Amino acid sequence: MAFRADEVARSAYQEAENYLLKGIRGNDEEHQKSRHFLEDLEMELGPVVRTYPSWHPLVSNHKDPRSPAIAPGQNCGYEGLDHTVFFVNGFITCPYDDGQRIIDSVRSFPYHSAASIDATRLDVKLYQMNANPILVTCEWSNKFKGNGQTIPLRTALPLMLMEEMSTWADADFAETWETMKPYFLGQPHGARSSLFLDQESGAAIKKIWNQLINTGMFGPIKVGV
């Protein structure tokens, strides 16, 4: 079945809205304010997603290059995340404490050449009335921005290559495209595209990856489980 990005994005957004507003329904004014905020946020940050490509700046600050992250958490430097919803270029997390641990951990991240990561408190209610939502954003530098909501190939491919080349010396075998697809495209995804990458970009990354593993640089290609 073809990957229908618009349908997938609409469904994912509705699930996220239901999740983040379910505890605010008893207060009509707050509920409306929060719903409008989420609608605007999707326009700003792109569609709701399940996981990130492992090369995305929001998850690339992981401690072990042999164990890439695809979701923000302690393994890529975040402290205190709770009740979290991901967008293409940022995420909302709703701790019950003041969220300072999240803000401090984000502001301790090392410099990234393609984007800056920041965290701010929100003045809307999300998830529950007594939660304290924090917005974490990925702001691409002008050189790496595209013209649409998907990330351009000129940005995604170098980031993917930098991520994977860091592991080649310790690699015992090469993983196939089918295994690596969630790590390169993010989720949800189709055969060669996702909410992060269009068909052309995904196909180009697949082609490059197949060329790399066929050189033998990562070792023999792993077949089966």
Q: What is the pLDDT of residue 147?
A: 64
CA atoms of 21 and 30, how far apart (whole Å): 10
Answer yes or no: are the C-beta atoms of 59 and 69 closer than 8 Å. yes
What is the number of other CB atoms lying within 10 angstroms of the CB of residue 126? 26
What is the number of other CB atoms lying within 10 angstroms of the CB of residue 37? 19
What is the number of other CB atoms lying within 10 angstroms of the CB of residue 122? 16
Which residues are paired to 48 by β-bridges?
87
CA atoms of 86 and 177, how far apart (whole Å): 24
Domain boundaries defined on the chain: 5-144, 153-214
Tokens of 175: 């993983």
Q: What is the pLDDT of residue 159?
A: 96
Query: What are the average pLDDT values for consecutive 10-residue runs of the chain, which has 225 residues?
Result: 80 96 84 95 95 96 81 95 97 97 96 95 95 96 76 95 90 94 95 94 97 95 77
Nearest to 129 by CA among 29, 27, 33, 35: 27
pTM: 0.94
